[in-house]
Amino acid sequence: MRKDRRPHDTAPTNTRRRTPVIDETEFVALFREHHNAVRRFIERRVSDREVAADLTMDCFEIAWRKRDPRDPFGLPWLYRTARNLIANEYRRREREGALWTHIEDHVRALASEAEPAMARRLVDAIRGLPEREREILWLTYWEDLSAAEVAVVMEMNTGAVWTRLNRVRARLRPLLDPAVVRAEEVSDDRR
């Protein structure tokens, strides 16, 4: 018998080292105490309230998964986790920016030289779309996926994909048809 073990202590070492589960009320208290501070911390760095709200919830989800009563954490740990999430968001934005630069180049290459203004309007309109609608457009036309396949990628139902795709088409159609003229471009005698 080893000297460091007492004779009455026969429990295997690994069962005594298991992490005890933190009380849910303690986590709720942590959340209530620090949620607003973490959200404001993130908002100041990402300048998008919706993204900040998502990242804040991600931060607390990570805190929930990594909780350990033997090593409690507070606001500094949450800020460090938030900084990591913000860095991931910046990297995502950089990748997205590179993607949209590629899309713009592709659209310009497809547009005839006689219609550079149309290509510029189209690129601007695509950039102005909400992120999910841009992704649906990309997956449908550049990746050649069906609505059902886009629904799987985007975690949506097929009907929602069709609805959003039809909205996007309606927004972009006037930019693609040279016969469609906006009201402000029509002279007063034609109104």
pLDDT digits (tens, 9 = 90+) for 98-116: 777 777 776 666 665 556 7
Helix-, strand-, coil-residue percentages of the chain, each rounded to 5: 70, 0, 30
pLDDT higher than threshold 70 for residue 117:
yes
Residues 190, 146: Cα–Cα separation, whole Å: 42
In the chain, list all ranges with CATH 1.10.1740: 20-93
In the chain, the N- to C-terminal Cα span, in Å, equals 100
For residue 174, give Cα distances in angstroms to 12, 53, 135, 146, 177: 73, 35, 20, 24, 5
Q: Which tens digit of pLDDT belongs to each residue from 166-186?
A: 988 888 877 666 554 444 343
In the chain, list all ranges with CATH 1.10.10.10: 111-182
- Least confidently predicted of 12-26, 89-103, 144-158, 172-186: 12-26
pLDDT of residue 108: 65
Q: What is the pTM of this model?
A: 0.48
pLDDT of residue 109: 67
Residues 184, 115: Cα–Cα separation, whole Å: 19
pLDDT band of residue 155 (cuts 50, 70, 90) is: confident
State which fold the 111-182 domain adopts: Arc Repressor Mutant, subunit A (1.10.10)
Selection from 95, 77, 88 nearest residue 55 by Cα: 88
Helix axes 75-110, 49-66, angle to 10 degrees: 130
The answer to whether 130 touches 144, Cβ cutoff 8 Å, is no
AA identity, residue 52: A
CATH, range 20-93: 1.10.1740
Q: What percent of the chain has pLDDT over 70?
A: 72
Kind plus residue range of the DSSP H or E element containing 82: helix 75-110
